[in-house]
């Protein structure tokens, strides 16, 4: 299973009642192929930490290529629990 990585960075703006934080998450895409030639894609899974989703389609095999992308989720609470 993919690990969860959420990093919080303080966000400073005009004075407000409470401090706001910007929440960053990672979108991980796993593309599955039929064999070691990696030419015929047979499935895909996408984990989106900002949305809290993990969605798969097609077939999962031992032949996978994984890409990750850091992304800004939204403003969240100072504890930086779940991004909205």
Residue 63, pLDDT above cutoff 70? yes
Query: What's the pLDDT score for residue 50?
Result: 81
Query: What's the pLDDT score for residue 84?
Result: 52
Looking at 1-84, which runs of residues are DSSP E strands? 7-11, 20-33, 41-48, 53-58, 63-76
């Amino acid at each position: 299973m993919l690990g969860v990585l959420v990093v919080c960075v303080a966000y400073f703006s005009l004075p407000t009642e409470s401090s706001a934080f910007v929440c960053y998450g990672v979108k991980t895409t796993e593309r599955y192929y039929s064999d070691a030639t990696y030419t015929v894609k047979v499935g895909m899974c996408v984990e989106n930490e900002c949305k809290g989703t993990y969605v798969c389609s097609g077939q999962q095999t031992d032949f996978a290529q994984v890409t990750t992308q850091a992304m800004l989720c939204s403003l969240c609470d100072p504890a930086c629990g779940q991004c909205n």
